[in-house]
Structures are given as C-alpha cells and as structure tokens.
Amino acid sequence: MMKNFDEFSKPEEYISPMDKHIRSVIRNWAAKEVMPFRRKYDEDWKNHHMIEPAFDKLMGNKGVGLQKALFPPELGGWGIGQSDSAFTVSCALAEEVGRADTAMAVAFMVTYWPLTTILVDPHVNWRLAKEFAPMFCNADKAVFAANAMTEPQGGADIENMDILGGKTIRTLARLEGDEWVINGHKLWPTNTGGVAKLFSVPCTTKLGSNDPNDFAMIFVPADAKGVTQGGPYEKAGMAADKNGDIWFEDVRVPVWYRAHGPGMDAQVFREIIPWGLAASMGFLCGAMLNLYEILYDFVSTKTYKNKPLKEDDHIASIIGRIAGDIDVCRILTYEAARMGDRRNKPYGYPIYTDEVACKMRNLKDFVSDRAVDIFGKAMDVLGPYGADREYDIEKHWRDIKIIQLWMGGKQLCQMEAARYFFNCKTL
C-alpha cells in the first residue's frame, strides 16, 4: 500500500480546525485544474491563457473564493487575518497550492502579502479594509495585489532595514494637500506585468533618509493616473508568476491610502518579511511533497536486477535521505508559522522583532538549500527521466531555485543570522 505524503510530520496540536477542509478543497482544485496542464505553463508565461482560468477557480467567488480569506467577516471575508492561526493556515495554503505549482502559489499568496499590513491583528486599518474589500470579496474572477517593493538600483536593500533603514529607496512620496503624489520605478514585484489591480508601494518621504518616520507604505490602485506597467519578463521558471516594471509618474492617491502613518509604516513593513519567509517555506514543502509522490511511483515501478529500484541499497540510501529531509523541512516550516502565530501571545515575540525575522531567515535558508539539494538528488535517481518534462520534477526544480533567490537570497538570510546570533554591527 502506497504511503501518502500526509505521512510527513507537522504539529497536529497547532493546526487550525479548518486545515483538513481547506486542504481537501485545494487538492480537488489542483487535481482538476492544474496537475493535468502544468507542464504546458512554461509556454503560457506571457499571456496566461491557460493559467488565468485556474486562478479564477481558486481565488474568485465562482470558485473557492480564497482571495477574500484575510478580510473580516463583516466585510464579506473569512476573518483569517483576525484568527490565532493566520500563519499556520497560510502555510497550509502555500503548501497545497505549491504542491501543484509553486508559481501559482506565490502569485496567489502575494495577493495577501501587502494586505497583511491592514487586515491582520493587531494592525487592522478598518477604513482601508472597507475601501478595498469590494475589490476582492465581490469578484467572481481572480483579483491580484502586489507588494511593489524592489527597485532597479537597490534590489533587496529595501529589506535590510536594520542597517540601511530605507535610505536607498528612490520612490518618493510627497504630501500635497490631502493627497500623496508618488514618483518612482519598481522592478520585479510578483503580480506585475499587468496582473495586479492594487499595489502597496514602499516609498520614502525624504530621499536618503533612514528615519523610520520617513518610510511610507501607500496603497495605489493599478488604474490610477500616472501608473504604467511594463510587460512580464521571461524567467527560468515560475511561469504563472508575472514580474515586470512599474513606473509611478505624479500618481495621486488620497492621504488616507497610507497604511498607518509615520513610524508604524516601517514597523508593518518589517512584519511583512516573516509572512514572506514562512510562505516561501510552505511553497518549498509543497513542491517537496509532490516530489515524493513522483519519486515514490518511479522507484516502485522501475526495476533493477528484477527488483523495484527502491530495493537497491544505494538507491534506498538516497531516497531515505530525501524523505528525512522533507520531514525535517516540514517540521521547521510549521515552527516558523507558529512563531508568527505567537506574535500576540505573552510567550511570543512581535513579528517585527529581530528574534522572529532573523530566526525565520535562518529557517528559510535551510529549507531552501535542502529543497534544491533533494531535487538534484531525485533527478540523479531518475537519470534521463529527471530532465523529462513529462515527470514534472525539472519544472519544480527550476521554480524552487527562484524561491531560494528571492527576498535577499542566501546572502541576506546569512547576514541577518550572523547579525543576530553573533552580534555583528556592520552587515
């Protein structure tokens, strides 16, 4: 009897009561809408003719309706942003969608990413929640948001708030009466290339400043006058996630479209980093769980010396180590999620603190490395089949490498770990 990938460890006592139901619904969606078609997604990277209908059935009201999950029930949402299990639920979503396609997982989950700054306790901005709820909660089709963070000249510098404090940001917001006027250029955000309907824009009110009071997060509708999006870039993988340029030229939005205000914007920006790290680990775990399914079938049906391949000592040692790595990575991923869900507890830490961010970067770095390594080992076991698109391993392999690279890659993860654990001062 074949083992199921649910055999891999997760902390059952911390799992949300809705976990089993959500997983069942998403697996059904994945089996019908994604798994049979995903190997054709690479050719659909630009137009998303095949990809968009699958997103609609996952996110829109005529499908599962997941795009409204963070919003309060009073506004038509599910209230996950105000639950004690927001991180662990998000981790389950990342895992299940990532098992089918990690690019779809990141595009879908990044819609939540900027919204966490205004929809998650203890920082719910009810005025903005009411403003944007109809966009997501009343839509039959998928609606995407984007965190317009990285810039051409600075890349992940914007995430290195402890040392740089936002002083490399070149996107400027100036206050004119009751409006913010925004000018700048963003590059590579997920859900750009014409996808997103709403941006959160990390910017500065004073160029070159590292004062947290000068850091601003301002929401900008994609159809606002002065917003221009370039086309998507073709990448090694992640075809379902479009990335491009955004230019803001004298873009005007109401003053209250700022997430919170001086000082607090910098804090909630720090808080989105753990969300991205925990979700990234969920994507990787989802891909590894699917790798296990594919690998199990291969080593059970292919033979060597008239025995299943898995009964060979050398192969068994490799696949045993792969299973062990998946188990450990899943445990670490849910520990990261629990760090997030403990944010409001007496025994937890706020997620803007170094205690959370640096430890999560450590975990994300480890899980990324193990994922990239075991996909390489699995491809070695499969031999020529490992590079065969029919087996889907090479697709995951290309996609997960990009997960390892984003959010500052290994370098920022390791610098922040050294900074926290070894008290480094200049990294």
Q: What is the pLDDT at residue 195?
A: 98
> Could you tell me if residue 426 is inside a domain?
no
What is the crossing angle of helices 102-119 and 264-301, to 10°?
Answer: 160
Q: How many CB atoms lie within 10 A of CB 15?
A: 18
Q: What is the pLDDT at residue 2?
A: 62
How many structural domains is the chain composed of? 3
What 3-state DSSP class applies to 179?
Answer: strand
Does residue 75 share a domain with residue 40? yes
Does residue 350 share a domain with residue 220? no
Task: State pLDDT tens for residues 10-53.
Answer: 988 888 888 999 999 999 999 999 999 999 999 999 999 999 99
What is the crossing angle of helices 354-382 and 393-405, to 10°?
Answer: 150
Q: What is the pLDDT at residue 161?
A: 76
Q: How far is residue 300 from each of residues 95, 292, 320, measured CA to CA in Å? A: 25, 12, 14
Does residue 362 share a domain with residue 257? no
Average pLDDT, the chain: 95
What 3-state DSSP class applies to 153?
Answer: coil
Does residue 374 share a domain with residue 243? no
Q: Which residues contact 209 (CB under 8 A, 6 or more apart)?
A: 165, 166, 167
Last-in-domain residue among 242, 261, 280 = 261
Does residue 90 share a domain with residue 32? yes
Task: State pLDDT tens for residues 69-119.
Answer: 999 999 999 999 999 999 999 999 999 999 999 999 999 999 999 999 999
Residue whose entry in the numeric block shows the structure tokens 């654990």: 421
Which CATH number goes with the domain that contains 349? 1.20.140.10
Asked whether the bond before 122 is cis by omega within 30 degrees of 0, the reply is yes
What 3-state DSSP class applies to 406?
Answer: coil
Q: Please give the residue range of the domain that contains residue 43.
A: 5-144
Task: State pLDDT tens for residues 106-126.
Answer: 999 999 999 999 999 889 999
Q: Encoding tokens for residue 406?
A: 């984003």
The more confidently predicted of residues 159 and 27 is: 27
Last-in-domain residue among 86, 112, 144 = 144
Of 58, 7, 49, nearest to 28 (Cα)?
58
> Could you tell me if residue 427 is inside a domain?
no
Last-in-domain residue among 261, 295, 323 = 261
Is the pLDDT score of 154 beyond 80?
Answer: no
Does residue 161 share a domain with residue 87? no
3-state helix, strand, coil in the chain (%, to 5): 55, 15, 30
Q: What pTM was computed for the model?
A: 0.97
Does residue 398 share a domain with residue 269? yes
Q: What is the pLDDT at residue 327?
A: 98
Task: State pLDDT tens for residues 271-304.
Answer: 999 999 999 999 999 999 999 999 999 999 999 9
Does residue 382 share a domain with residue 235? no
Which CATH number goes with the domain that contains 235? 2.40.110.10
Question: pLDDT above 90 covers what percent of the chain?
Answer: 90
Distance CA(330)–CA(323), nearest Å, equals 11
Q: How far is residue 189 from each of residues 50, 239, 257, 316, measured CA to CA in Å? A: 22, 14, 20, 41
Q: What is the pLDDT at residue 1?
A: 61
Distance CA(372)–CA(361), nearest Å, equals 16
Does residue 12 share a domain with residue 136? yes
Distance CA(262)–CA(267), nearest Å, equals 9
Task: State pLDDT tens for residues 319-352.
Answer: 999 999 999 999 999 999 999 999 999 999 999 9
Distance CA(361)–CA(423), nearest Å, equals 16
Does residue 412 share a domain with residue 295? yes
Distance CA(26)–CA(93), nearest Å, equals 8
DSSP state letters, 94-112? HHHHHHH-HHHHHHHHHHH
Does residue 269 share a domain with residue 412? yes
Does residue 287 share a domain with residue 249? no
